[in-house]
Amino acid sequence: MESTWVKILTVVLSIFLGWVAGQGGEIFREWLRRRRLSRDLIEELKFLGQIIPGQIAAYEESIHMAARQIIDPRITLNLEHPIYQNFYKDVCSTLTSAQRNSFQIIHSSIEMHNLLLTQQLVVGNLELEGSNADALDKWTNLINTQYGNLRILLFRIEFHLMNLTRKTGEISEYDEASFEDYMAQVVAEQKKLINDARKPFRK
């Protein structure tokens, strides 16, 4: 009789240990998956940080051309962020509130850039067709807005990545004075682009 109970307990214990091992393995695999996705989100930010300066340069040239009353037909490409779009929801619960806020601001700015890019295409086509006398004004406003947005976006990405070097990995708040100084610099550089473009036309 005792031998029977021992066998039953052995079977039950084996089943229990197998279940625990299975659950533990599943938890570990999920942990590894989220860890990999977190790294991929950062790599995506690094990639965006590498290509945005090229887009900023393209907008600088477009601002220069618009100041000479020319619509530059070259259009920068959409900023793609598929990892954030498809997998951010899987890892957001593992981030701090400041990290989540930083990611969401960055990627909302990317969506805004892409939305305005479609408007650029519309305005550019109107100009080519000669069907809108206000196309140049609309174009100028759009590219100036896009230029400013991209400069801010690059600032936010670099700030996010810079904070990852801290031991806590926490995203600190922006220093308001530094950010205002940066924005003033962006505005000054935009004005300089326009003024430099117009110089040949001044008497």
pLDDT digits (tens, 9 = 90+) for 130-187: 555 577 888 888 888 999 999 999 999 998 888 775 544 455 555 666 777 888 888 8
* Residue 184 to residue 178: CA distance in whole angstroms: 10
Whether 70 and 14 have beta carbons less than 8 Å apart is answered as no
List, in sequence order, the alpha helices (H) in 79-175. 82-91, 97-129, 135-163
Q: How far apart are the first and last CA of the chain?
A: 112
Q: Given pLDDT bands bounded at 50, 70 and 90, which one contains residue 90?
A: confident
pTM of the model: 0.75
* Residue 184 to residue 203: CA distance in whole angstroms: 29
Radius of gyration of the chain (CA): 26
* Residue 114 to residue 16: CA distance in whole angstroms: 53
Report pLDDT digits (tens) over 26-78: 665 665 777 888 889 999 999 999 999 999 999 988 888 888 888 876 666 78
* Residue 11 to residue 29: CA distance in whole angstroms: 27
Query: What is each CA distance from 182 to 66, 155, 177, 187, in whole angstroms?
Result: 24, 9, 9, 9
Query: For the purposes of burial, counting CB atoms within 10 Å of the CB of 181, is it exposed (0-12), middle (13-18) or buried (19 or more)?
Result: exposed
What mean pLDDT comes out for the span 93-120? 89
